[in-house]
Chain A
Amino acid sequence: MSTQIHTGLLHREPPIFELSSPGRTGHALPPSEPLDDEGLPAAFLRQGAPLLPELSEVEVVRHFVRLSQWNHCIETGMYPLGSCTMKYNPKINDAMSALAGFTATHPLQEDEHLQGSLELMFQLEGLLCRVSGFHSVTLQPSAGANGEFTGLALIKKAIDVRGEGARRRKVLIPDTAHGTNPASVVLNGFEPVSIVTGPEGVLLPEAVRPHLDDELAAIMVTNPNTLGIFESHLKEIAELVHGAGGYVYMDGANFNAIMGKVRPADLGVDTMHFNLHKTFSTPHGGGGPGAGPVGCTAELAPYLPVPRVLRTNEGSYRLITELPNTIGRVHPYFGNFAILVRAFTYMLENGGAGLSRVTEMAVLNANYVRALLKDTLAVSVDVDTLHEVVFTDRDLKKETHVTTMDVAKRLLDFGFHPPTVYFPLIVPGAFMVEPTETESRVELENFVETVKAIVEEARTDPEKVTSAPHRTGVGRLDETTAARKRILRWTPAKP
């Protein structure tokens, strides 16, 4: 029996396999039966059971509840995570996605037996079209990166249809872009070409001009960009790119900054993904599942993945799977459907007016934090920002040797999740704050005061900051050892 060490109510919980003892079980299946093995060759049967824990329900529940208590989450406190839009996840969304009419429905039921789900998807596509200005939307992609893959595949298809597939392979990506952008480009057989952001933190037509040739497939722009700055030249750049025969992809991860203010389609964007798990309040789930619907222009719409949902003249809904120019399927069924229900509920509850208000309050909050902190930490680029603001440790590091990572870890001691750090890559020691609209003025002020106190501490007691965190359940984790030793699964101790 191992002795467990607890920190107050925080339980040190061994891997579940170490709790196991033979003969216990936590399921309530019908009584066991011998295997009906008629026609089953013995060579196909499993030799020896897989190593799974043997536990009652009480023990399993306790194990996972104890583990859960080691997590920070949006319902314990703020996540000022730039580029991630960690907003509160409304409860009604979860209830609606858990309705048996959705959860007990087989995805291959006949269209006539799926009318509710089909209508929901049709309506959600319409709402997303309305806020973005696009002609069509597909809900199939499972996450933002999968949406990038899909949107770029539409562009590739359009270029192939024009007979220019062999030549047009360059995709321009600003140096502030998220890592998924270049990775998605490669998965489409394109070649990423990095272009530099101007001194004001935005992309200038000058950066794009040298690339305007018949090898240009597309430009991929995050707007507002990952510095939180609106790409005010995007419209002009889009015209240049279109003039050269290329397309414009917009990474919509930061859509929370512009709802009701700007419709990407009006800027000349050809296709864009939404992150429902950012802008539209669906939970992050500790890393997923999210959903990454893609919007596009009428020109690209024929290439959208199947299935498509169609409304018939009689007002019923039908799935279309045969489209001559589709890129094919990107998901075996309907994407992360339960996430779609949540986002739909959220959009209906807000209405168009509510979504505009969401954006306004998100931008207000970010600018409030900026105003309160700008004399404490240097702002990366001194121009207007929208929903997030990126600070840098440039001055702090010079003065005290304390880095962004140290401040981030010290924040943990005060109950805050740190901001996004060291991204975008062009800002030295980036410290990127996106409070979102669901944080109150008081919470923002608490956060700011905490950051200020840490920066002060960096001057008076730097050791305290560089050795943080002190109050979390575990101390700093040794990532080098993890990569070197590579213990990627539990194994029983050798007797």
Chain B
Amino acid sequence: MRYLPHSPQDIQHMLQTIGVPDVEHLFRSIPRDQRTERPDDSPGLPECQLRRYLEGLAARNKNFCVSLASAGAPFHAVPKAVETIVGRSEFQTAYTPYQPEVSQGTLQAVFEFQTIVSELMGLDVSNASLYDGASAVGEALLLALRVHKGKRPVVWVSEGLHPHAKEVVRTMLHAFGDVTIQWLPLDPGTGATVLPGAVTADVAAVAVGYPNFLGVIEDIAAVSAAARSAGALSIVSVPDPANLGVLASPGALGADIAVGEGMGLAGTAGMGGPGLGLMAVRDEYVKQMPGRIVGQTVESRGGVGYVLTLATREQHIRREKATSNICSNQALVALAFTVHLSLLGPSGLRDLATLSRNRAMALRRGLLGIPGVRPLVTGPVMNEFALVFPRDAAGLRAHLADNGIFFGVPLARFCPERPEWREAILLAATETACPDDIAHTILLVKDFYREGK
């Protein structure tokens, strides 16, 4: 086996030194009756066969030429340089930076990541990452519950979060117990979250998507003001932080906690992960943050250095009193995010967000020009939107798939029983779509309905 550097002579010598006759002897502390009776002795595959099998599997996924879907997994054009940096042994095969003297590379990169995330979100402090955008919402809600020390047992959560994120939040809060989730409906006309009146004194937090799952840009300033005037925390969930190149930051609009999913900009959205859970908070909540945080300090020879800090929040120190159980996070994805945003710079990020928005608007306008196609909701959107098609949305998507186009995600998939979603498709565009792709797509949709397929 190529990963085992032991020669037969080495093994003999080592056994002799240990003072046992054979390798089996090393397992004598395991009672006989607990040993596996017939261990699996199947052989392994040589590399050529491994490749053939896995390449075969990969080929059985359909890869589209054009993707017009995001739905929580946005695909951006990530420069090759990002992959090169992330693939470096020193980053990829390094351990968690608990020994700072030999981990300054990772630590400084995380410090830069934290800076970028807090800048994008418009808040004071970011942590070193969480698993994904969905669990980040759950962690934010748990944070808010801790801030109120159990005196506010209710959280208001928008129905406009990604349906899967809602399920993750439900799993997390249900397990934690003693919390009531009040789901805030979306206005059927505008698609924006409706608060059922003034925020009540038992509410720990109000959480909304920005934009929400239907692509609608929520009025974060109004929701945040309503939350904060009642002493509740405002939580804003950003499904694609690329949009923050154009949209106002959650912090500027009054959010206390901003969370998000960074995998699109990190280039790991394929199959939905590894994800990159982002979280930034106002300074007053830093001691309640889940996850690792890197801080700047000095070293014994007088220079500047970086360490993991505020560890008294974390499980390895505080055990059952920790702010979360998270240990391993998404460090390497956070690095990819950091490198990409460093390449983009402020103008690049704005360009990327603008191009995504412009392509999406061209697609939307073109499709709305087709008789019978209408928007599902009327609220303002960024680069994602839901349209209702006159009939047979499934047939339409299949026709476009045959032409190499991934034409959004059918909303019926998430809630088959909602009649108004039956023929609705959630579409999006990013800078990866060319104007020609958009034009071609519109033409194919036109043809589909003209020919009455």
B58/A25 in contact, CB under 8 A: no
Contact with B along A206-223 (1 / 0, CB 8 A): 000000000000000000
Of A34-42, A242-250, A391-399, A457-465, which binds chain B? A34-42
Least Cβ–Cβ distance between B388 and chain A, in angstroms? 18
Bound complex: CA of A269 vs CA of B87, how far in Å? 38
Stretch at the interface among B71-79, B151-159, B201-209, B442-450: B71-79
Interface string of A7-18 (1 = CB under 8 A from B): 000001101110
CB interface residues, B 314-358, toward A, < 8 Å: 314-320, 322, 324-333, 335, 339, 341-352, 354-355, 357-358
Q: B149 within 8 Å of A by Cβ?
A: no
- Compute how far the CA of A74 lies from the CA of B34 in the bound complex, rounded to whole angstroms: 34
Given contacts A102-B58, A262-B30, A332-B72, list 14 more A-B pairs with CB under 8 A. Answer: A33-B351, A52-B345, A60-B339, A64-B91, A75-B93, A106-B73, A116-B59, A287-B97, A331-B134, A336-B273, A352-B40, A354-B44, A477-B299, A477-B307
Q: Which residues of B contact A188 (CB under 8 A)?
A: 175-176
**Interface pair A262/B34, CB less than 8 Å apart:** yes
Question: Which residues of A, 248-270, contact B by the 8 Å Cβ criterion?
Answer: 258, 260-263, 266-267
Report B-chain residues with C-beta under 8 Å of the C-beta of A446.
none
- For window 63-95 of A, CB contacts with B under 8 Å fall at 63-65, 67-76, 79, 81, 84, 86-90, 92, 94-95
Nearest residue in B to A277 (C-beta to C-beta)?
B328
Contact B23 A360 (CB under 8 A): yes
Counting chain B residues whose Cβ lies within 8 A of the other chain, the interface size class is 35 or more
CB distance from A439 to the nearest CB of B (A): 7
Nearest A-chain residue to B350, judged by Cβ: A49
Within 8 Å of chain B (Cβ to Cβ): is A386? Answer: yes
CB-nearest residue of chain A relative to B96?
A: A287
Taking a contact as CB atoms under 8 Å apart, the answer to whether B61 and A109 are in contact is yes
Option from B15, B101, B105 in Cβ contact (under 8 Å) with A472: B101
* B325 with A184: CB separation less than 8 A: yes
**Is A314's CB within 8 Å of the partner chain B?**
no
Are A368 and B299 in contact (CB-based, < 8 A)? no
Taken together as a complex, chains A and B put the C-alpha atoms of A438 and B11 apart, in Å, by 13
Q: Give residues 137-182 of A contacting B (CB, 8 Å).
A: 142-146, 148-149, 152-153, 156, 178-180, 182
Contact with B along A82-118 (1 / 0, CB 8 A): 0010111110101110011111111111001111110
- Is the CB–CB distance between A101 and B299 below 8 Å? no
The stretch among B180-188, B225-233, B241-249 that forms the contact with chain A is B241-249
Asked if B132 and A332 sit within 8 Å, CB to CB, the answer is: yes
The contact of B57 among A29, A116, A357, A475, by CB within 8 Å, is: A116
Residue of A nearest to B409 (CB): A108
Minimum C-beta distance from B2 to chain A (A) = 8
B272 close to A334 (CB less than 8 A): yes
- Chain B residues 156 to 200 lying within 8 A of chain A, measured CB to CB, are 162, 164-165, 167-168, 170-172, 174-178
- CB of B55 closer than 8 Å to a CB of A: yes
A149–B103 Cα distance when bound, in Å, is 29
Min Cβ gap B231→A in Å is 25
B342 near A288: Cβ-Cβ < 8 Å: no
From A415, which residue of chain B is reached at the shortest CB distance?
Answer: B102
Do residues A187 and B175 form an inter-chain contact, with CB atoms below 8 A? yes
Give bound CA distance, A157 to B373, whole Å: 45
- Nearest-neighbour CB distance to chain B for A462, whole angstroms, equals 17
Residue B63 interfacial (CB < 8 Å): yes
What is the CB-to-nearest-CB distance from B31 to chain A, in angstroms, rounded to a whole number? 5
A180 to B64, CA, bound (A): 41
* Bound Cα distance from A331 to B23, whole angstroms: 41
Q: Quick check: is A400 within 8 A (CB to CB) of the other chain? A: no
Q: How far is the CA of A481 from the CA of B310 in the complex (A)?
A: 11
Q: A69-B105, A182-B320, A332-B164 are in contact. Are A440 and B5 (CB under 8 A)?
A: yes
A384 interface residue (CB < 8 Å to B): yes
Q: A320 at the A/B interface (Cβ < 8 Å)? A: no
Contact (Cβ within 8 A) B99 A179: no
The A/B interface has a contact count, at CB < 8 Å, of: 670
Which secondary structure characterizes the binding site on chain A?
loop
Whether A119 and B60, one on each chain, are in contact in the complex, defined by CB atoms closer than 8 angstroms, is yes
Q: How far is the CA of A344 from the CA of B44 in the complex (A)?
A: 12
17 A-B pairs within 8 Å (CB atoms) are namely A36-B358, A36-B361, A43-B248, A49-B346, A52-B341, A60-B343, A73-B89, A113-B61, A120-B57, A183-B325, A286-B94, A286-B109, A334-B272, A358-B1, A423-B316, A483-B309, A483-B312
**Is A409 an interface residue, CB under 8 A from the partner?**
yes
Contact of A189 among B41, B55, B177 (CB under 8 A): B177
A61 close to chain B: CB less than 8 A: yes
Measured CA separation A75–B114 after assembly (Å): 27
User: Is the CB–CB distance between A288 and B54 below 8 Å?
Assistant: no
Q: Taking the nearest CB of chain A, how far is it from the CB of B361, in angstroms?
A: 5
B441 proximal to A (CB < 8 A): no
Which B residues are in CB contact (< 8 Å) with A335? 273
**Is B40 a contact of A131 with CB atoms below 8 Å?**
yes
Cβ of A293 under 8 Å from chain B: no
Chain B residues lying within 8 Å of A108, measured Cβ to Cβ, are: 69, 71, 73, 409, 413
Query: Are B69 and A106 within 8 A (Cβ)?
Result: yes
Q: Which residues of B contact A69 (CB under 8 A)?
A: 90, 105
> Given A15-B112, A55-B345, does the pair A289, B61 have CB atoms closer than 8 Å?
no
Q: Within residues 369 to 391 of chain A, which ones have a CB less than 8 A from any CB in chain B? A: 370-372, 383-386
With A100-B58, A341-B54, A364-B23 already in contact, the answer to whether A289 and B332 are too (CB < 8 A) is yes
Q: Quick check: B62 and A67 within 8 Å, CB to CB?
A: no
Chain A residues closer than 8 Å to B217, beta-carbon distance: 40, 44
Kindly state the separation between the CA atoms of A68 and B170 in the bound complex, as whole angstroms.
39
Q: How far is the CB of A315 from chain B (nearest CB, A)?
A: 12
Say whether A330 faces chain B, with CB atoms less than 8 Å apart.
yes
Please indicate which of the listed interface residues B85, B177, B315, B342 has the most CB atoms of chain A within 10 Å of its own CB. Answer: B342
CB distance from A261 to the nearest CB of B (A): 6
Residue from A52, A114, A262 within 8 A of B116 (CB atoms): A52
B339 pairs with A45, CB closer than 8 A: no
B19 interfacial by beta-carbon distance below 8 Å:
yes
In the bound complex, do residue B345 and residue A489 qualify as a contact, i.e. CB atoms below 8 Å apart?
no
A311 on the interface (CB 8 Å rule)? Answer: no
CB pair B1–A146 under 8 Å, yes or no, is: no
**Given that A50-B119, A262-B36 are known contacts, is A483 also in contact with B339, CB under 8 Å in the complex?**
no
Question: Is the CB–CB distance between B249 and A46 below 8 Å?
Answer: yes
Q: State whether the Cβ of A451 lies closer than 8 Å to any Cβ in chain B.
A: no
- B127 to A: closest C-beta gap in Å: 9
Sorted nearest first, the 3 A-B pairs with minimum C-beta distance are A333-B272, A101-B58, A352-B40
B34 touches A33 (CB 8 A): no
Q: In the bound complex, do residue A71 and residue B299 qualify as a contact, i.e. CB atoms below 8 Å apart?
A: no
Known: A46-B249, A153-B175, A475-B101. A115 touches B319 (CB 8 A): no
The answer on a CB contact under 8 Å between B102 and A72 is: yes
A327 close to chain B: CB less than 8 A: yes
Give the CA-CA distance A365 to B129 in the complex, in Å. 35
Query: Which residue on chain B has the smallest CB distance to residue A94?
Result: B87
For A72, give its contact among B19, B27, B99, B344 (CB under 8 Å). Answer: B99
Most buried by A among B33, B99, B142: B99
CB-CB under 8 A for A286 and B103, given A99-B58, A350-B1? yes
| Bound CA–CA A130/B40 (angstroms) | 8
Are A474 and B303 within 8 A (Cβ)? Answer: yes
Contact of A183 (CB < 8 Å), options: B27, B79, B248, B320: B320
Question: CA of A294 to CA of B104 in the docked complex: distance in angstroms?
Answer: 33
Within 8 A of A (CB), among B380-429: 380-382, 401, 406, 409, 413
Nearest chain A CB to B30 CB, angstrom units: 5
Does B118 count as interface, using CB distance less than 8 angstroms?
Answer: yes
Does A488 reach chain B (CB closer than 8 Å)? yes
Task: Tell me which residues from 214 to 260 in chain B have a Cβ below 8 Å from any Cβ of chain A.
Answer: 217, 221, 244-249, 252
